[in-house]
Amino acid sequence: MKLRNNLYKIMICALPILGVSSACSDFLEEVNPNEMSTESFWKTVDDLDAGMIAVYNAFKNQNVLAIGDEYNRSDMTWPGWGRPNTSNQYYLQEFNESSGTPNNKWDALYKGIFRANQVISASQELIPGLADEASQERATIILAQARFFRGLFYFYLSTGFNNGSVPVFDFVPQNEEDFYQPVRPAEEVVEFYREDLQFAHENLPAKWTRDIDRGRVTAGAAAAVLGKSHLYQEEYSQAATYFQEVIETPEYGYRLTESIGDNFTTTNELNAESILEINYSLSYKSEISPWAEEQVSNNLNFTVSPVGGYRAVYPSCWLIMAYKGDKMDVNDPRNYVLEEDGSTRLRTYSLRTSYSIALVDDLDLEYYGTSTAEATAFNNKETGYFRKYSNWETVSNEKDIVPNLRSGVNVRVIRLADVYLMYAEALLMGEGNVEEAMTYINRVRRRSALQLLGMDGSGEFPAAAHDNVTYDVQSLMEHLMYVERPLELSLEGNAIRTIDMRRWGITKQRFEELSQRKYYTENYPFVNSKGQNVTRWSSVLTEEVVGTNILIDYQQAASNYIPSAHAYWPIPNSELVANPKLGGE
């Protein structure tokens, strides 16, 4: 049977692939030179830790987050190579159970679950027989890591597939019948993964003390995921409790980085803002495909970059305009640029905008070693690109990395800014606490020298420029929905925007509203570094009526989107056909 064969491969592949490496975490550099059977392998605590490396390796599989197509389902991206036409089924809301991304994501998540189950089962058998307390403690922490990932993978399945109803495996299948499991009710899946995350929360360290362990999951990561889980279920009080713990526990030591850009490049990886992060390396396994799960690098740089990359995903029109309108704090010296003649001027765009996307007329942040306008052609009416995940700070072209199709940029899955904004939402929707919610939103904005919300002279930063708007619950929530969360977290985490839109109940109306907006493009003339006059045609996006180039997003999505078919990924067709308990033969 197809399902049995697939799951069998998932089970037996955990041990042979333990030899992976990380740019930042030496614990991923262990090598297992021999393929061993399950019966002969699980003998010592070191074996458990080696098995745990295979679980971390499963998290590294880029199909787990499926960043490109998860965001193509939202209002945040254009899937691309030029406007105005696209055949991308996720952007058009034409995907179904046979589509590649839900099949690949489902397979990647269940592969991680089976690897975690191997470690969990072996730990539970081994721990009672361990003679010394230190070995028992170490094995329990390994068990907690495995249960964290099983809980995380089920959290992703629960929030991503079939309205939350999916098969649950809390064991390692031993025979053919074990492979065929029915879907569980959504509430049972939530209860199951929360038990795993709670065990992890209670047994993981607040912080790893050895450099070799940097990048392993912590109690703070478990608390953050539990908080997300409760927020997604509109259980605001419980969510706020976990978020407050993440924010205020001294042992966790989380804080916002000084520069928002430290969260998007190889600079300052595994920093104090990072709560959950996937480690990648520029090391390269030449004997396997650059797309293979076992690769230690990622290739998201090629997805987003127009400089040697495929520019397959770039910002939607409304997002570009929102970034362009991201208002700066005129009282903050970080927003002023010193000119050659000694005068100063306001930055072209906010720090958050400059570090998040590349705009042709951004004068203040280099792009691949030169000005943004000079770095790439901005052709095909492409008026902005994501900087996130690209190597714009370290190379002049993505193809400078040889062999290419790889990047060492770590993927930050959950960071403190996300927790601040989720905590603000929980306070707002749970208690109606506008002032406290605004405090945490303003902390995020202050880091990027943005104009703060509220009245001048108020809050934690009275000297900062404020917008002088009096907010209530509804208006502040709208700010979170349409400004703060999308601009701060664009293209990050696990389907953040897709899930946010769904849980707020705005997806259909959002596509309909955006499909009515018209955008236009203008040319951008400039003098390049050689003193030549150059024009980037149709490269500046505007909502002013100019010229004849009209761009409209989401017309097909507005028509095609059906909540029952597209709010969640469907159970993949391969699973439906192969598993008799899901309707197959």
Q: In angstroms, rounded to a whole number, what is the distance separating the alpha carbons of residues 567 and 533?
A: 48
Which tens digits make up the pLDDT trace of 206-254?
A: 999 999 999 999 999 999 999 999 999 999 999 999 999 999 999 999 9
Q: How many CA atoms lie within 13 A of 12 on its CB side?
A: 9
- DSSP string over 383-412: --EE-TTS-TTT-SSGGGSSS-S-B---EE
Which tens digits make up the pLDDT trace of 105-163?
A: 999 999 999 999 999 999 999 999 998 999 999 999 999 999 999 999 999 999 999 99
Amino acid 495: pLDDT: 98
Mean pLDDT of the chain, nearest integer: 92
Lowest mean pLDDT among 23-27, 35-39, 503-507, 560-564: 23-27
List all residues 6 or more positions away from 207 whose beta carbon is below 8 Å from its beta carbon: 218, 220, 251, 252, 253
Q: In angstroms, rounded to a whole number, what is the distance separating the alpha carbons of residues 115 and 117?
A: 5
Which tens digits make up the pLDDT trace of 10-45?
A: 444 444 333 332 223 444 544 444 444 556 689 999
Amino acid 527: pLDDT: 97
Q: Is residue 266 over pLDDT 60? A: yes
H or E element that contains 497: helix 496-504
Which tens digits make up the pLDDT trace of 530-539?
A: 999 999 999 9
**Whole-model pTM?**
0.94
Amino acid 348: pLDDT: 98
Look-up of token digits 């955006």: 514
| pLDDT greater at residue 294 or residue 102 | 102
pLDDT class for 84, splitting at 50, 70, 90? confident
pLDDT class for 405, splitting at 50, 70, 90? confident
Amino acid 583: pLDDT: 63
Amino acid 585: pLDDT: 42
Which tens digits make up the pLDDT trace of 163-200?
A: 999 999 999 998 888 889 999 999 999 999 999 999 99
Which tens digits make up the pLDDT trace of 318-344?
A: 999 999 999 999 999 999 999 989 999
**Do the Cβ atoms of 160 and 106 come closer than 8 Å?**
no
Amino acid 20: pLDDT: 30
Amino acid 269: pLDDT: 96
Q: In angstroms, rounded to a whole number, what is the distance separating the alpha carbons of residues 581 and 553?
A: 41
| pLDDT greater at residue 585 or residue 506 | 506
CA neighbor of 542 nearest in space, from 554, 555, 551: 551
**Do the Cβ atoms of 566 and 330 come closer than 8 Å?**
no
Amino acid 179: pLDDT: 86
Amino acid 17: pLDDT: 35
